Amino acid sequence: MPYLTLSDTTTRIFYKDWGLPSGPVVTFSHGWPLSSDNFDAQLHFLASAGYRVIAHDRRGHGRSDQPWTGNDMDTYADDLHELFVALDLRDAVMVGHSTGGGEVARFVGRHGTARVRGAVLISAVTPLMVRTEANPEGTEMAVFDGFRAAMKKDRAQFFLDVPSGPFFGFNRPGAVTSRGMVESWFAQGMQASFVGAYECIKQFSETDFSEDLKKMEFPVLLLHGDDDQVVPIEAAAKKAVKLLPRGLLRVYPGAPHALPNVFADEVNRDLLGFIGSLKTA
């Protein structure tokens, strides 16, 4: 399995590099507390269509190392930039889901647009999740404090409750549930380090990505469900699209947070169409 040893020389991150080596590059940044495995439907689809797809496990998550330090958004973005440099990735389209959408935005905010030609933010935490005076549509801090308390009390049970309920929308009346999706989420979450997953809660909830979004001067597609119980659309995509110089929002009616899973075919179609449009733009 491929790993990159980061410049601190003590941390390695795992990554997948699938598809045609000479094909157009698409990178994937996963959500909390998951791993690159959560994008396998998209990775296989695009790799089969002639693209080179690259997805890493964020530090503290998946198969990557579990350092005690560096579990913050700036370092996540810097780690990803190191992977871009090590693999000499250029003209890439960056895809980020949930926390991964914030990672993509912070990557551009810290490292610019030279290696990127477009991005797709799926159910992303941008621009800011937590409620503040300036962000009254946000989620109360008590919710994220509850996440931390639940992790300390019984992480395993918490990591069953989230996918069994709001993440996939399985708590909605008439929802068709998937035990497989729940168990996959649980397995990925439990693979993460405790400190990595715990500290990431602060990063995805309290990081303000507003200035990062303003620097994303290339085309950006936002995909968001209007029944997202984890990252409500009113405080996220509908605000983010106004900050993006070239943003386009596609709303999935009635859809939950887990678009790459529950709406995999639709997401794949939208990714392929958007990436294809960049070739002729």
Instruction: State the CATH number of the domain containing residue 121.
Output: 3.40.50.1820
Asked about 98 being catalytic, the answer comes back as: yes
pLDDT band, very low/low/confident/very high, at 281 (cuts 50, 70, 90):
low
| Confidence band for 9, pLDDT divided at 50, 70 and 90 | confident
Of residues 176, 148, 143, 181, the one with CA closest to residue 163: 181
Sheet holding 92-97, edge to edge: 3-5, 12-19, 52-56, 25-29, 92-97, 116-122, 220-225, 247-252
pLDDT band at 279 (very low <50, low <70, confident <90, very high): confident
Exactly one of 98, 123, 193, 205 is catalytic; name it.
98
- H-run or E-run covering 267: helix 264-280
Domains contained in the chain, number: 1
Gap between the Cα atoms of 184 and 186, Å rounded: 5
> What is the pLDDT averaged over residues 96-118?
98
Compute CA distances 257 → 251, 253, 274, whole Å: 12, 12, 20
Q: Is the pLDDT of residue 153 over 60?
A: yes
Active-site hit among 30, 61, 224, 257: 257
- Is 257 a residue of the active site? yes
Q: Which residues span the domain enclosing 37? A: 3-280
Q: What is the pLDDT of residues 231-258, one digit of tens each?
A: 999 999 999 999 999 999 999 999 999 9
